Chain A
Amino acid sequence: MAQQTPPAIKFDKVSRHFGDVKAVDEADLEIRDGEFFSMLGPSGSGKTTCLRMIAGFDRPTAGQIFLYGQDVSNLPPYDRDVNTVFQDYALFPHMSVSENIAYGLMVKKVARPERMKKVDEMLELVQLSGFGGRKPSQLSGGQRQRVALARALINHPKVLLLDEPLGALDLKLRQQMQVELKAIQKRVGITFIFVTHDQEEALTMSDRIALFNQGKIEQIGTPAEIYEHPKSAFVAGFVGTSNLVRGEVARRITGMDVTFSIRPEKIHLGNIKEKAPTDSYSSDGTIRDVVYLGLYTRYHVELDGGGDLVVVEQNLKSTSMDVLKNKGQRTRLHWNKEHISKMGA
C-alpha cells in the first residue's frame, strides 16, 4: 500500500498584500512531485512574489504554504528544503566557484573531503569541471548561470526555484540552456518551479503552467491545454496570439451569445465560391493586408458584417509574389467548431 506522495507545493488561499497592493490574492495551487512547473505572467502579476514566499524570503499575509505536506509558511529560508537560482545569480564575489558551490555544505558543517567530492560532481553536472578555482568575475554570463545552478543543487533540495534564470542570456545560449535545464531536471529528479514572463519558454519546457495576472492565477494546465483552450481573454492574449471574437460578430458566426477565441493558424482562407465544410464555422470577408514573414504569411481579413480576424498560413508552396497577390481578394474563412475556446461573456 504505497502512500500517495503529497504535492511538492500546495498553496491554500495564499495572499500577500503590501498595504493596498494585492501582489498575490487568495492563490490556490498544487505542484506535483517531480514536475517541471512554470509560473508565467507579465511583470507585477505576482509570480515572483509566489516564488519568494515558497523560498521563504517573503511570508504570506494570509493562507498557508505546504512543502510536501509540511506547513512552511513561517519558516525562515534556511529551514526549508528549497533552493533558488536567482535572476542575477547572486554569486558571492569574494569566493571562488568551488567555494560558492560548497557554500550550502559548508554552513551545514559537512566535512571538507566530502564537500570537495560533491563540488566536483556538481561541476561535472553543469559542465564546468576545471573552473572551480576561478572567481565569479572571471566567468561569462552563461557560466555564472551554471555555477548558480550547481550551488542550488548541491543540497539536493526537494524543490528547486528558478527566478527568470535565462533572462540575462542571449537567444542562442538561452535555447541551449533550456534544453540543458530539462535534461538536468530529468537526471536529478527534483521538482523545478520556473518563473518566467516568456510564454515560449514556458510552453517548451514545462509539464504544467500556471498563468498569473494581477495577483491571481488565471489558469493552470499543461502547455497544450493552455494554448488550445485558454479559459480567459487574458490567457488567450498572453500565450501566443489569438483572435478574440465577441458581441454581435460572435453571434452572427456561431448563432450564440458567446465570446470566443480562435487561433490564427486554425483558420482556413477558403475560396469564396466553395462551401465551408460541415461542423465548421465560417465567415466571408476581404483580405485587407498581407504580411509575408518567410515561414508563414499573416493576413488581416475584414469581415463583411464588421470585425476582423488575423489568419496565418504556412508558406508551403507559395512564394512572396503569390501571397501578396491575395491582397484585396474576397475569401470565405472557415474553421473547425472544436477549435474555438468559449469564455465567459
Chain B
Amino acid sequence: MAEVKTVATRVGFGETLVELGNERDDFIVMDADLAAATQTGKFKKAFPERFYNCGIAEQNMVSIAAGIAATGKKVVVSSFAMFAAGRAFEQVRNSVGYPHLNVIIGATHAGISVGEDGATHQCNEDIAIMRTIPGMTIINPADDTEARLAVRAAFECDGPVYMRFGRLAVPVVFDETYKFQIGKGVELREGSDVTIIATGLMVKEALEAYELLKAEGINARIINMATIKPIDRDIIIKAAKETGAIVTAEEHSVIGGLGSAVSEVVCETVPVPVVKLGVYDQFGHSGPAVKLLDEFGLRAINIVEKAKEAIALKK
C-alpha cells in the first residue's frame, strides 16, 4: 500500500495565498505575530510589501481588516482560532459581520490537535460562536486538497468567511479531481443504514469507520461537510429520510458546532436520531496531538460506536 501523504491544512492556506498573490494584487494579508505558525509567513516572504503585521493585537487587526474591506479591497487576516474567533469575536461580529464586509479570516491551530500548547490554545468553540453571526460563511476543510480549493472559493465569496485550519499534519484524502463548492456537502460513500456526517480531520476517520462498519455488515453513508454555514440542508434531509439515523463527527465541542447545525435541520424537517461525536463540554490539555485525538475519542472506532448507537435508536 502506497504511503499516504500527510500535510496540515494550514500549509495549503499559506501556499494558496502565495499563488493568489501571483495572480492578483488587489488584496492585503495581515497577521498578529504568528505568521510562521499560521503560514501567512509564506505570503510575507513572497510579497513583503503586501503583508502587514499587526503585532499581538487581534481585535485591532480584525477591525483594521473591516476598514480595508470597507474601501472595497480584499483582505485576509490570520491568527490562531482561539484568538481570531475567541478574543476578537465582537470585532468580527460588529466591525466585519454587521456591515457584511469581504474579510477572510484564516483561523489556524483549531481544535484539540493543537497538542502540546494545551487548553488555552485548543479552540473547540470557534465554529459555535462564528455560526451565530448572521451572514458568516464557515469552512472547515478536511485535507490539503480541500483547503487549497476552499481558500480560492473564499476569494469569490460575498461577505465574511471564517476558515478553519489545523496545525497537525493530516492525511490527504482527496485527489486532484475533487470538486469543492461552498455550501455543498459531498457524499463520499453510499450507504443506507446510517449516515456519518464529518468535518475537518474527522472526515478521514469517517472513511475508516465506513470500512470497519462494512466489515460488520453495516452500510454507512459518509458525507463530508466542509461548509458548516450555510449548511447543506438538502444533503442532510435526504440522508435523514434515506438512512433514518445520523452521526456527526467533528474536532470541536458538541455544543454549537456541526452536530448542532445538523440537529437543527433534522429536528425541524425529518426528526431522526442524531448522535454527536466531538469534544464533550470539556477543556483539552497538553500532549501530542495524535494521542489527544485517541484520548478524546476522535477516532474511527469511536465513530463506529456512535453509528451503532444511532442505529439502535432508530424506530
Q: Do A and B come from one complex?
A: no
- Interface, chain A (partner B; CB < 8 A): none
